[in-house]
Amino acid sequence: MTINQTPQVVTIAGTDSGGGAGVQADLKTFQARKAFGMSIVVALTAQNTLGVQNSFPVPCDFINDQFNSLAEDFKIKAAKTGMLADREHVECVVENLKKVDFGPLVVDPVMIAKGGHALLKEDAIETIKTKLLPFAFLVTPNLPEAEVLVGYPVTTEEEMKQAAVDLQKLGVNHVIIKGGHLETKEAKDYVLLETGEDYWLKTKRIKTIKTHGTGDTFSSCIAAELAKGTSIKEAIYIGKQFIQGAIEEGLFVGHGHGPTNHWAELSESVEEIIE
């Protein structure tokens, strides 16, 4: 086997000192899916299961250095973005993405932590829409993030479908609108593929407060699969099985919104619904 045959994947995101979200969740997920994980740290957070206590953006020059280090040595086959902090950092990441070939890009447009702490400044939204999303192979907003990106309320299933169509118009190939924040008894995500094929991925909603980092874990699992050459449809399905298993087999760490279990088995309970 030559060195380039090992699936290699990178997360471009913020850290979570508490280990449940951000870069730490991404690397644990990459490892669980047997892809070699790397990181480009855009911001640091002092964080635990009770919330984000502080955050600190990394200077752009140092982000450039991280991109250069990885591009010079590795054959990266997929990438994902998470917390990008502010407009200057989004621009810095986009400029670097233009220079490298890291394969398909999954954009998880992280904006606000579950505890309410802003992980992205508002001045970055327009830049995400006009400069980052045209680079994205897949975008995975939750409902509040979808609302900010499309500029109208996204609270119903019909609005989720419309939002996906409008996000695709910004230049993204595939869209998933995550329904974790819906009030339904199922956890339903809407998928719109580049081909126009659309469907819902549905699982039983688990009654738990241990959902810290669910979005990061879901999107990093999809990125790991893409790095292995898995098709987009199969990668998304495995992502849903992975996050469902990680929530179902929860861990007992921390005193607040605990993390998911990145070494859990894939759940068998995912249903695909075509309407």
Ligand X SMILES: Cc1ncc(COP(=O)(O)O)c(N)n1
Residues at the interface with ligand X (CB under 6 A): 14-16, 21-22, 45, 47, 82-83, 110, 113-114, 119, 212-213, 216
H or E element, residue 67: helix 60-73
Based on the shown chain and the rule CB under 6 A, indicate whether residue 114 belongs to the binding site for ligand ATP.
yes
Instruction: Note whether 262 and 245 are within 8 A (CB).
Output: no
Based on the shown chain and the rule CB under 6 A, indicate whether residue 117 belongs to the binding site for ligand ATP.
no
Based on the shown chain and the rule CB under 6 A, indicate whether residue 236 belongs to the binding site for ligand ATP.
no
Based on the shown chain and the rule CB under 6 A, indicate whether residue 22 belongs to the binding site for ligand ATP.
no
Which sign does the torsion angle of CA 158, 193, 175, 189 carry? positive
Residue 41 or 236: which CB sits closer to ligand X?
41
Other beta carbons less than 10 A from residue 170's beta carbon: 17
Based on the shown chain and the rule CB under 6 A, indicate whether residue 21 belongs to the binding site for ligand ATP.
yes
Based on the shown chain and the rule CB under 6 A, indicate whether residue 206 belongs to the binding site for ligand ATP.
yes
Candidates 117, 121, 161, 205; binder of ligand ATP (CB under 6 A) is: 205
In eight-state DSSP terms, residue 21 is: S
SS3 269: coil
Q: Which stretch binds ligand ATP (CB under 6 A): 93-101, 120-128, 165-173, 241-249?
A: 241-249
Residues constituting the chain = 275
Instruction: Note whether 252 and 208 are within 8 A (CB).
Output: no
Q: How many residues bind ligand ATP (CB under 6 A)?
A: 24
Which sign does the torsion angle of CA 194, 22, 251, 224 carry? positive
Residue 227 or 247: which CB sits closer to ligand ATP?
247
Cα(70)–Cα(157) distance, integer angstroms? 40
Based on the shown chain and the rule CB under 6 A, indicate whether residue 187 belongs to the binding site for ligand ATP.
yes
Q: Least distance (Å) from ligand ATP to the CB of residue 207?
A: 7
Q: Which of the listed partners (ligand X, ligand ATP, none) does 187 bind, with a CB threshold of 5 to 8 Å by partner kind?
A: ligand ATP
Q: Least distance (Å) from ligand ATP to the CB of residue 101?
A: 27
CA 57 to chain centre: 19
CA distances from 219 to 55, 60, 140, 198 (A): 22, 24, 7, 18
Cα(157)–Cα(82) distance, integer angstroms? 25
Closest residue to ligand X, judged by C-beta, is: 22
- Contacting residues toward ligand ATP, per CB under 6 A: 21, 114, 142, 178-181, 187, 189, 203, 205-206, 208, 211-216, 218, 240, 243-244, 247
